[in-house]
């Protein structure tokens, strides 16, 4: 059976000279027998899609804590929107769509419950700090599969680690995800903020609406077309100066009016206090941790880091349930 070999040949024949080819991957930390059907990046995509950390994203906050309504984004729907944007761009530029999708699906695996509020709390309280991009890589290298990890390729882990603004991935595909992440959250957070009556479309400065568009659909169309047009034939992923500056300005506007808005973040301090108390509790009563985490400590991992791993992996509702179990009298708990 030569299915994988034929797919690798198709990549060599069709993809851009700037694309990351599956057969040229820098490989995995542990060597494996190649799949007879799937090239390595497709195999990584499948591993991420089927892992427990990916499924838990559906119950993790994106921006709005405890939103009233079914249509607000979660960390999972954000991830899917990033993936869709990235795949559209990659296909148009003839880059490796499997690699792009694997990075996109894995880039936020390390996010905490309660969105960035949880991340900031763990970063403050845990010795050595906490960053969700680093945690995403730690999950696929160490925490998934009972401590064996997913054994992903170097290129996928590089894209996951370096998807944030201050960092830069090594592949073109990673650079696509890095931009697609910003495009996704800026646009869907505007949509959610309008739904939550935190702002209206007219509140967005006219200079940004004129350049990018005055609806979510128009803005996405502008961003994606602009990236494709300005990246064709180049060994880089970029925007025009005008659109890039408008994106930065709109992102700054969102920080000032949504991400720090008391309506969107009204429960944030309570959420941080909840996680802080769980962190102190598990450091005191380590026997309450699942067996996998106790084994990590037996193997030499620092207690605080292991507790951080456990709390970061919780969904919002699981963290709340554990808080109720440990800190609320049983007569007060909601059945």
311: which 2 tokens? Answer: 């709390």
Q: For the CA atoms of the chain, what is the radius of gyration?
A: 21
Q: How far is CA 265 from the centre of its chain?
A: 20
CB-based contacts of 254, cutoff 8 Å, min separation 6: 186, 189, 190, 193
Tell me, what's the pLDDT at 82? 98
Q: Which of 74, 94, 93 is nearest to 184 (CA)?
A: 74
Tell me, what's the pLDDT at 334? 60
CATH 1.10.3210.10 in the chain, residues?
3-259
Tell me, what's the pLDDT at 297? 96
pLDDT along the chain (335 residues), means of 10: 92 98 97 96 98 97 77 94 98 98 98 94 94 98 96 98 94 98 95 90 95 95 98 97 97 90 75 96 97 95 97 96 89 61
CATH topology of domain 3-259: Hypothetical protein af1432 (1.10.3210)
Alpha-carbon distance of 11 to 46, in angstroms, equals 19
Alpha-carbon distance of 320 to 300, in angstroms, equals 29
Tell me, what's the pLDDT at 264? 61
């Amino acid at each position: 059976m030569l299915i994988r070999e034929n797919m690798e040949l198709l990549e060599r024949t069709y993809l851009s000279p700037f694309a990351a080819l599956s057969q040229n991957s820098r490989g995995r930390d542990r060597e494996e027998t190649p799949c007879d059907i799937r090239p390595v990046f497709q195999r990584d995509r499948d591993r991420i899609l089927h892992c427990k950390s990916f499924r838990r994203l559906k119950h993790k906050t994106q921006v709005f804590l405890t939103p009233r309504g079914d249509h607000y984004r979660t960390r999972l729907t954000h991830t899917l929107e990033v993936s869709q944007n990235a795949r559209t761009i990659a296909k148009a530029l003839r880059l490796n769509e499997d690699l792009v999708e694997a990075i996109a699906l894995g880039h936020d695996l390390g996010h905490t419950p309660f969105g960035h509020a949880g991340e900031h709390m763990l970063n403050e309280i845990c010795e050595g700090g906490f960053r969700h991009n680093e945690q995403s890589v730690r999950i696929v290298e160490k925490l998934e599969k009972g401590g064996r990890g997913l054994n992903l390729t170097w290129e996928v882990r590089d894209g996951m680690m370096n998807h944030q603004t201050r960092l830069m991935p090594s592949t073109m595909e990673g650079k696509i995800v890095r931009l697609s992440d910003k495009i996704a959250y800026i646009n869907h957070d505007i949509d959610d903020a309008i739904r939550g009556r935190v702002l209206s479309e007219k509140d967005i400065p006219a200079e940004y609406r004129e350049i990018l568009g005055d609806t979510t659909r128009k803005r996405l169309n502008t961003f994606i077309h602009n990236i494709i047009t300005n990246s064709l034939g180049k060994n880089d992923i970029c925007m025009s100066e005008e659109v890039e500056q408008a994106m930065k300005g709109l992102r700054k506007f969102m920080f000032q009016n949504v991400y720090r808005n008391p309506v969107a973040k009204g429960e944030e301090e309570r959420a941080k206090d909840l996680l802080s108390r769980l962190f102190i509790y598990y450091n005191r009563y380590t026997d309450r941790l699942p067996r996998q985490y106790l084994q990590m400590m037996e193997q030499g991992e620092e207690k605080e880091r292991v507790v951080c791993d456990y709390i970061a992996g919780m969904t919002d509702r699981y963290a709340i349930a554990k808080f109720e179990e440990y800190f609320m009298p049983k007569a007060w708990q909601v059945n």
